[in-house]
Amino acid sequence: MAIETQPEQAHGAGASGPAGPRRRPWWMRPAIHTAIAGAVVGYLLGHLLGNFLASSSVATQYPNITLSDSSDWPIVLGYAFGVVGWLVGLGVFNDVFRQVIGRPVSAEAEEETEPVNVGVAKYFRFHLDHKVVGIQYLVGMIIYFCTAGLFAMAIRAELLSPTYHLFSSSTYIEIVGEHGTMMMMLMTSAVLGPFGNYLVPLMIGSKRVAFPRMEALSFWLTPMAFLILLSGLLLGGWPFGWTGYAPLSIESTLGADSYAFAFGLMGVSIILLGFNLVVTIICYRAPGMRWSRIPIFAWAMLTTGFLLVLAAPVLVGGMYMMLMDRTAQTAFFVDQLGGSSYLYENLFWFFGHPEVYILVLPAFGVVMEILPVFCRKPLFGYKVGAAGMIGVSLLSFFVWQHHLFVSGINPDMRPVFMLTTELISVPTGFVYLVALGTLWKAKIRFTVPMLFALGMLFNFLIGGVTGVFLSDVPADTTEHGSFFVLAHFHYTIMGGLIFAFMAACYYWLPKMMGIRLNQTLGRWHFWTMFVFFNATFLPLFGIGMAGQPRRVFEYARNLETANDWVSIASFCLGGSILIFLINFVWSTVISRVREEGNPWRSRGLEWQVSSPPPADDFAYVPVVLSAPYEYGTPGAPPVADLNPPVGVVSAAYAEPETTRAEA
């Protein structure tokens, strides 16, 4: 593409020399500072427009029901215009505008589309290199997780005493809602965002993802969702936890607008993320990358991507239906006006239960990718593991109503959903047995990534077994809404997802940054996190069976000692995360011990290039020769030929899939 250049200028910022075109000064180039300015301007414009609409509208009075007043309009439109201003400030639409008016892509835009090394500044821009987006996601997810963890510390500080209170009842439920919503909303992308975006193209032999702009956009929506969610604290929070059940959410304070808008915005982000990963894995595999040679981590990304694409639109629709009820006085979820609050529960959990597997499947993908490397043996039952993931993703759409066993569900439907809930444990068990079979008679190297992988398997077993109790109607009726459910959920999600996230950090950061985290601090991190995680959540099963409900800050005095134990253990658990943060900052910013090779001696295709990878991932499109898990197999060929003749690669791409797989 031709690039227009300007004559050399003698003076002034932006003057160019003979080597290149004129460039604007840094403060005028799209980056996070211009995005913040755009968001502020957009919010003010939207707020003014909302005030105008609210003042000019005629309030409609409904008998026997209190709907939110017109003050919701300025908040919702402020958020909407603020998001648009944020994206405009980032330069998301720059090239679109240029093409609309018929102008060529400028030199600066050309630079932005090339995955070149432009220093740390590239991580604060709308960048189209999947590796840059992966690092952006990684730092973002750490920030979101730690913020949600601080809210959890506040919850446990309040529960130190059943009578002495640090917060009022309304403030306490606001903190509970912020913690739960932030964890379930933003941590959906904990593995898919950083490691899916960064590693999937490398694992399948591609030089990029299918839709680079969509990938970058999926990340830059998350900071706005995070800030909008936090702003809800300034608007009175929301008193309905993280589930947003109507009619309470329709009649609630202005903070409910923050909840619904942020949750819906994050839903758009994960739809884009999932769709991009699915298309990349299906269409951008290197020659020879058969379905039977795809890394198990890529299988996890593929099945999770389908869940995101199919389930998240229902969530987005539900959230914006809630906003319409709150602003335009529609009645989707208002029973007295012909709507149905029960409809909201179905819409929410139709996404909400696949959401559990959206979190768990990537965790299993990480663990099963790590186990063969440190067991030095092939992955046991590779095809069974892939089939188990497919089975989990399919069955996850048939279990959502077990969350409604005590919400007025037709009693005749209870056995159906009890059966489907118990059936989903079968493909989940397949995946778990693949992991155990890989460990059987293996010569295990207990590295830090391996320790976290084993910790994930231990924690998920407890979460899975206790989940069987809650799938049965009589047990669920007894324990629903208690700390038993909370303990089960945290063993499944935090014990699964977060332990796998830490395993992925210690395993792949040498690849992603060319820097190895301190292994001594890593071991301290694992053992403190593992011990205090179990010390925190294991007693909650007993506390729940003793009758303590969730989301209530007063409880029976005889449970004070147990709650004190849990709170102190949770503070120590927070300290273990602090060890990780110290290790991360020390290793990546201060000590920066380089790791440019393949420290784990992995056969994975992503480890066959330098660390960090070159700008274009591969000098040539590789030709895949074997599966990535042939450890200990005599005469196993290398995983791929990284420098095939150009004609061979071109011919391989031109042939049908069946012929190409034999290349």
Average pLDDT taken over every residue of the chain: 87
Assigned domain for 652 exists: no
- Whether 460 has a pLDDT exceeding 60, the answer reads yes
Does 4 or 293 have the greater pLDDT score? 293
Assigned domain for 162 exists: yes
List the beta bridge partners of residue 640: 624
Assigned domain for 401 exists: yes
Mean pLDDT along residues 459-475: 91
Are both 140 and 101 inside the same structural domain?
Answer: no
Q: Residue 509's closest CA among 194, 197, 277, 201?
A: 194
Are both 374 and 241 inside the same structural domain?
Answer: yes
Assigned domain for 116 exists: no
Residue written as token pair 């932005």: 112
- Whether 25 has a pLDDT exceeding 70, the answer reads no
Q: Which domain holds residue 351?
A: 127-591
Are both 131 and 103 inside the same structural domain?
Answer: no
Assigned domain for 634 exists: no
- Whether 660 has a pLDDT exceeding 60, the answer reads no
pLDDT at 288: 92
Report how far apart, in Å, the C-alpha atoms of 350 and of each of 272, 311, 314, 603 are: 19, 7, 7, 39
- Whether 262 has a pLDDT exceeding 90, the answer reads yes
Q: pLDDT for 344-367, tens place per residue?
A: 999 999 999 899 999 999 999 999
- Whether 517 has a pLDDT exceeding 60, the answer reads yes
Residue 625, C-beta contacts closer than 8 angstroms, at least 6 positions apart = 288, 637, 638, 639, 640, 641
- Whether 91 has a pLDDT exceeding 80, the answer reads yes
Q: Which of 591, 624, 654 is the last residue of a domain?
A: 591
Contact, 486 vs 541, CB < 8 A?
no
Are both 238 and 142 inside the same structural domain?
Answer: yes
- Of the listed ranges 29-33, 289-293, 483-487, 525-529, the one predicted with least confidence: 29-33
CA 273 to chain centre: 9
Are both 345 and 403 inside the same structural domain?
Answer: yes
What percentage of the chain reaches a pLDDT higher than 90? 67
Mean pLDDT along residues 275-303: 96
| Contacts by residues 106-115 (CB-CB < 8 Å, ≥ 24 positions apart) | 106/3, 106/4, 106/21, 107/3, 107/4, 107/5, 107/20, 107/21, 107/23, 108/23, 108/24, 108/29, 110/1, 110/3, 113/212, 114/615, 115/208, 115/615, 115/616
Assigned domain for 601 exists: no
pLDDT at 27: 55
Are both 485 and 398 inside the same structural domain?
Answer: yes
Residue 267's φ and ψ, nearest 5 degrees, are -60, -40
Mean pLDDT along residues 115-136: 84
Assigned domain for 611 exists: no
- Domain CATH for 288: 1.20.210.10
Q: Which of 575, 591, 607 is the last residue of a domain?
A: 591
Domain total in the chain: 2
- Whether 107 has a pLDDT exceeding 80, the answer reads no
pLDDT at 348: 94
pLDDT at 56: 62
Are both 308 and 268 inside the same structural domain?
Answer: yes
Burial zone of 74 (CB within 10 Å; 0-12 exposed, 13-18 middle, 19+ buried): buried
Are both 357 and 389 inside the same structural domain?
Answer: yes
pLDDT at 589: 87
Helix residue spans in 514-603 (DSSP H): 519-545, 560-585
Mean pLDDT along residues 393-414: 87
Strands 623-624 and 640-641: antiparallel
Q: Which of 591, 616, 648 is the last residue of a domain?
A: 591
Confidence of residue 5 (pLDDT cuts 50, 70, 90): very low
pLDDT at 228: 96
Q: pLDDT for 291-328, tens place per residue?
A: 999 999 999 999 999 999 999 999 999 999 999 999 88
pLDDT at 522: 96
Assigned domain for 643 exists: no
Confidence of residue 115 (pLDDT cuts 50, 70, 90): very low
Report how far apart, in Å, the C-alpha atoms of 312 and of each of 259, 273, 319 are: 16, 11, 11
Are both 187 and 98 inside the same structural domain?
Answer: no
Mean pLDDT along residues 259-270: 96
Contact, 525 vs 451, CB < 8 A?
no
Mean pLDDT along residues 251-264: 93
Are both 482 and 393 inside the same structural domain?
Answer: yes
Lookup: tokens for 463: 């979460």
Q: pLDDT for 178-217, tens place per residue?
A: 999 999 998 899 999 999 999 999 999 999 999 999 999 9
Q: pLDDT for 600-652, tens place per residue?
A: 999 999 999 998 998 889 988 999 999 899 998 888 899 998 888 765 554 44
Are both 293 and 149 inside the same structural domain?
Answer: yes
Residue 254, C-beta contacts closer than 8 angstroms, at least 6 positions apart = 68, 71, 72, 75, 235, 236
Helix residue spans in 194-285 (DSSP H): 197-204, 212-231, 248-251, 255-283
Longest dimension (CA), the chain: 83
What percentage of the chain reaches a pLDDT higher than 70? 89
| pTM for the full predicted model | 0.90
Are both 139 and 98 inside the same structural domain?
Answer: no
pLDDT at 183: 93
pLDDT at 67: 42
pLDDT at 647: 58
